[in-house]
Amino acid sequence: MLTIEDLHVEVEGREVLHDINLTIKEGETHVLMGPNGSGKTTLLRAIMGFDSSQITEGSLIYNDHDITHMPIHERARLGIGLLFQRPPTVSGLKLGKLLAVTSGGDSERVDEYARHMNMDTFLERDINKGFSGGEIKRSEVLQLMIQKPDLVMLDEPESGVDLENMSLVGNAIASLVEKDKHIVNRKKSGLIITHTGYILDYIDADFGHVMCDGTFKCHGNPREILKSVQSKGYKECIECQRV
Amino acid sequence: MKGFSEIGEEDLKRIEMTGLQTGSLEGRSGSFLQVDDHIHHASTDTKGVEILALADALEKYAWLEDYYWKAVPRDKDEITQYVAAREPKGYVIIARKGSQTTFPLQTCLFMAKDEIQYVHNIIIAEEGAELHLIAGCASSMKTKNGAHYGVTEFYIKKDAKVTMTMIHTWGESIEVYPRSVAIVEERGIFLSNYVCMVPAKKVQMYPTAELRGDGAVARFSSIMLATPGSYLDTGSRAILSAKGATSELITRAITTGGTIISRGHILGSVKDTKGHIECRALILKDGTIHAIPEIEGRVVDCELSHEAAVGRIAREEIEYLMARGLSEDEATATIIRGFLDVKISGLPESLQKQIDAAIDAAEKGF
């Protein structure tokens, strides 16, 4: 589904990512871990195509399309979706209005999903304006449910979400990546940044990757990586020379 | 009197852009139409509300002298002097004590020829009356040059409420000089909404609300777009001269190459008054936006504040919407539409819809 080859990315003229290689196949969910500032968010933003994450070398191939220099909205229309960690507030733009546009005017589906995500009372509010951390995540998940991406990228989906809402958000994400479907029928893929690993209670991720200093340091079983990070932190990863 | 039937189809469309109905008057509680200096129509079907030509009103009601040139001074400037020196044109609306209009009353000033159109309007809402006005001003596609001079005097008595929604659809070579003052008495409410999304050569206005009664309220909201060649020098002023008087002046301005001077002035001259000025502006292409908010407190216990911001659309917001599948142009238009979306509290829904429609019509041009 997505092949990243030898990717180098600059942010404000400084190289933040280098030598990134990764293949995500249809139906696979990958988890991205690593210390703050290691470049995880930059990678997701580069895949989405944001101006600030400038690709200087390498390529992104998505379902046979070279998307390395494709505008953001074309990537979105090809099926790439991103849950923002800290989305901007858009004053005056109602959440319901945006969903009306992205759903192609399917108000029934919008209402149904909004109720499901406990966001029905937010449809008339400006997007993200005064939303709590948990509300932002519910709003982001709701937007992705409407958008129905094939490659679901999630930037810390659990941050700011309280325990009560964690299962709502977690289960909704699980269905975004079709964890409710049998493995052979799964068409959706996921690339998820997590610090806490709470999201792994809802989705069984297939692969884990640790990023340090702008490149992958190791790949492996996501549960095992999480366990090791929880007990020893990233110190060993940073020092580790094995790639 | 003749009505809208005298006007050609193309011009009717321009009149309709100002939010007026030109066919059936269903959903309107009255209608007034002046083309150049001819009054074509004045009627209302609402009990307790009268609309008549100024000249007729001055003849019919001797007491109108107490209101004629009493809020706006005759010799204020060359515009008022011009109007005062000529035969009275324009309308008088009187909402009698306790009268209520469910539907807005529409007034239309239309310029068909290249000349100066002048009007003098007087609006009186007596004690407890509630009156909603939609004032459309437009010029014919054929009008190449011209100027509109408009004097408007509002008298809002105790517990009365007047909302005035003015939508301008002038031509690129028309100059417009409204001069208006509202005098608001005890607990009276004056809401003034101005929408100008269509090019005009020059608009110069600085409507004022004098809050003379305790607890009086004035809210001005202006939504403007200046295209290349447009020069919009607009502002609003509130004079808080009674206890508990409050005022809010809100502006959303966008330029794609024209100039907008956005003025605002709130004067708090007695205790226990409150006022706020908010001006937000976007420079989309070229152009100039000059915000001049002034707050002037003359006593303790008056709370006045202002915020003004001139900027551009944040790239982050555009990219956020693009990540949801909107093209850059769609994302930009959606953000601008949101930026202009000022919901005016206390405004009837039908009028809010007219404002929304005027902005929607301009959306393509962003």
For A98-115, give the secondary structure using H, E and C: HHHHHCCCCHHHHHHHHH
- Count of CB atoms situated within 10 Å of the CB of B102: 11
Closest by CA to B156, choosing from B194, B180, B178, B182, is B182
Cβ within 8 Å, pair A98-B334: yes
DSSP for A56-78, written as a single string: EEEEEEETTEE-TT--HHHHHHH
Predicted pLDDT at B52: 92
Let me know: does A204 contact A181? Beta carbons within 8 Å: no
Eight-class DSSP state of A205: -
| Residues A87-92, mean pLDDT to the nearest whole number | 92
Question: Which amino acid, one-letter code, is at B48?
Answer: G
CA–CA separation, A216 and A38 (whole Å): 9
With beta carbons under 8 A apart, name residues in chain A contacting B315. Answer: 51
Q: CA dihedral defined by A46, A52, A57, A58, rounded to 10 degrees?
A: 10
Residue ranges of E strands in chain B? 30-35, 38-44, 49-53, 91-95, 105-111, 116-125, 130-139, 146-156, 161-169, 174-184, 189-196, 202-205, 208-211, 217-226, 231-240, 246-255, 259-268, 273-283, 288-297, 302-311
Mutate to test the interface with A, among B254, B322, B324 (most CBs of A within 10 A): B324
With beta carbons under 8 A apart, name residues in chain B contacting A92. Answer: 335, 337-342
Can you name the residues that pair with A33 across neighbouring β-strands? Answer: A210
Cβ within 8 Å, pair A93-B334: yes
Query: Which residues lie below 8 Å from residue A223, measured CB to CB, with a gap of 6+?
Result: A200, A208
Provide the token pair at A171: 């289960």
ipTM: 0.95
Number of helices (H), then strands (E), belonging to chain A: the values are 8, 12
Q: What does each C-alpha distance from B313 to B254, B285, B328, B339, B356 come to in angstroms?
A: 11, 11, 12, 10, 21
Side by side, the strands of the sheet bearing A14-24 are A14-24, A2-11, A54-62, A65-66
- Beta strand B49-53 pairing with B91-95: antiparallel
With beta carbons under 8 A apart, name residues in chain B contacting A91. Answer: 338-339
What does each of the 366 residues of chain B score in pLDDT, given as a tens digit?
457 777 788 888 888 877 778 877 777 888 888 888 888 888 888 889 999 999 999 999 999 999 999 999 999 999 999 999 999 999 999 999 999 987 888 888 888 887 899 999 999 999 999 999 998 888 888 877 889 999 999 999 999 999 999 988 888 888 999 999 999 999 999 999 999 988 889 999 999 999 999 999 999 999 999 999 999 999 999 999 999 999 999 999 999 999 999 999 999 999 999 999 999 999 988 899 999 999 999 999 999 999 999 999 999 999 999 999 999 999 998 999 888 888 777 777 877 887 888 788 777 666
Q: Within the 318-357 window of chain B, which residues sit less than 8 Å (CB to CB) from chain A?
A: 319-328, 330-331, 334-335, 337-342
Can you name the residues that pair with B169 across neighbouring β-strands? Answer: B138
CA–CA min distance B328, chain A (Å):
8
Can you name the residues that pair with B39 across neighbouring β-strands? Answer: B34
For B111, phi then psi, to 5°, come to -105, 115
> Which chain A residue has its CA at the smallest distance from B313's CA?
A90
| Residues A183-188, mean pLDDT to the nearest whole number | 84
With beta carbons under 8 A apart, name residues in chain B contacting A147. Answer: 324-325
CA–CA separation, A236 and A243 (whole Å): 13
Provide the token pair at B176: 């417009």
CA–CA separation, B31 and B107 (whole Å): 6
Cβ within 8 Å, pair A90-B320: yes
Predicted pLDDT at A211: 93
Cβ within 8 Å, pair B328-A73: yes
At residue B309, the 3 state secondary structure works out as strand
CA–CA separation, B123 and A139 (whole Å): 47
Predicted pLDDT at B1: 40
Give me chain A's average pLDDT, please. Answer: 92
With beta carbons under 8 A apart, name residues in chain A contacting B321. Answer: 90, 98
CA–CA min distance B327, chain A (Å):
6
* Among the ranges given (A144-148, A221-225, B81-85), the one the predictor scored with the smallest mean pLDDT: A221-225
More confident residue, B31 or A83: A83
Interface contact A104, partner B, CB < 8 A: no
With beta carbons under 8 A apart, name residues in chain A contacting B335. Answer: 90, 92-93
Provide the token pair at B5: 């039937």
Interface contact A92, partner B, CB < 8 A: yes
Provide the token pair at B104: 């807005």
Q: What does each C-alpha distance from B110 to A142, B81, B147 come to in angstroms?
A: 49, 22, 11
For A32, phi then psi, to 5°, come to -115, 120
- Closest partner residue to B322 (CB to CB) among A76, A84, A92 is A76
Q: Within the 142-171 window of chain A, which residues sit less than 8 Å (CB to CB) from chain B?
A: 143, 147
Provide the token pair at A124: 């008339």
With beta carbons under 8 A apart, name residues in chain B contacting A97. Answer: 334, 338
Residue whose pair of structure tokens reads 């009186």 in the numeric block: B124
> Which chain A residue has its CA at the smallest distance from B343's CA?
A92
Predicted pLDDT at A76: 97
CA–CA min distance B322, chain A (Å):
5
Interface contact A50, partner B, CB < 8 A: yes
Q: Give residue-wise pLDDT tens across range A46-60.
A: 999 999 999 999 999
User: Is pLDDT above 80 for A12?
Assistant: yes
